[in-house]
Chain A
Amino acid sequence: MDIKVPFRKPDEIDHMVLDLVHKYAKAKGAPPRPPIDVDDIAESYLKLDLEVTDLKELLKMPDVLGATWLEDKVIRLDCSLEGQEGRLSFTLAHEIGHWWMHRPIIEMDKVTLPLYAFEEGRPARPAIVCRSTKKDPAEWQADQFAARLLMPAADVRATAKQVRDALPVSIPNLKATKGGGEFSPELRDFASEVIGAGNFSNVSNQAMRIRLVDLKLVDDANDPQGRLL
């Protein structure tokens, strides 16, 4: 079942991420720098319990990666993510996005969430369950939130400027990459350089590629006006 959330423009999501980052920075006494410690944001600042477990087996869903039990204040990540720092951090940042953006809506409007029991014999509780193959508006927003949290625009831009003389970088056939499909080797290399130079060690190459496209730090060599992006 989809969670009914209001439409949010990208700059509204920017503001919501900045709101969290400012509050977190105030609590910590310093602004976070990449790699953004999303574990600390979730556990230390938001006081959420983090668990890494076999969610796929427990929820009988082969494509589940993360879930947030709102009443219990628990984020559970699937154990298949362990060892994949980029994917795990992105999923955790995504769940933080649900907590920060959607929990107030759910609590205020008393939207009925599907009930999930974490363990057999235990009562089912309302939870936001995130599946890799299902992208409703709430999931899209949480992805956008995660990208902005892990890859702040100012840091990505500054690093991109540091590694390449001229921006945007022209990538042949970039249009073919829109939507996260097959990416050109040139874009992959550029993303690797930005990850390395900017210390984005908890960001996957794929997530950085999408972020570079979204921030218009790359353009299509065959369509420099960006009509196709």
Chain B
Amino acid sequence: MTETLGDRIKRLRKERELGLRQTAAKVGISATFLSRVENNAEKAAPGEEVIRKLAVVLEDDFDTMMQLAGRVAHDVADVIKADTGMPAFLRRARDQGISSEDLMKMLDKGKKGKR
């Protein structure tokens, strides 16, 4: 079964030995809201700033948490908005089955070639 954002938060919180209310206080949200998120009872996923704080408190990867929340970070959205060719580029990469990992490798290779 795929891990949801709530499952992940609960798992990491326990691994880090953080209490529910302690975590909520560190992040600046109510324990009720965190409880609902953890138990997949909250319809609206937490916002970007909350996820950013959760990632810091839980020592987790922000992008992974954002993806599980079904959200796109503002800086990523800005990249796409700023370049009109970006949506076509992303669609093409998807259609050709090029993963983000492949793209990263290509970028690294390009970087080395420039040196």
> What residues of chain A have their CB less than 8 Å away from a CB belonging to chain B?
39-40, 43-44, 50-54, 79, 82, 119
Contacts and interface: CB of A to CB of B under 8 A. Distances in A.
Contact of B20 (A51, A54, A79): A51
B17 A44 contact: yes
B37 to A, nearest CB: 11
Interface stretch (B28-36, B68-76, B92-100): B28-36
Contact of B31 (A44, A82, A119): A82
Interface string B38-51: 11010000000000
Contacts of B39: 51, 53
A91 to B, nearest CB: 13
Contacts of A52: 20-21, 30-32, 35
Interface of B: 17, 19-22, 30-32, 35-36, 38-39, 41
Contacts of B38: 51
A44 B35 CA distance: 17
B46 to A, nearest CB: 16
A51 B6 CA distance: 13
Contacts of B31: 52, 82
Contacts of A51: 20, 35, 38-39
Contacts of A39: 19-22
A67 to B, nearest CB: 14
A79 B17 contact: no
7 contacts: A39-B20, A43-B19, A44-B17, A50-B20, A52-B20, A52-B31, A52-B32
A151 B39 CA distance: 32
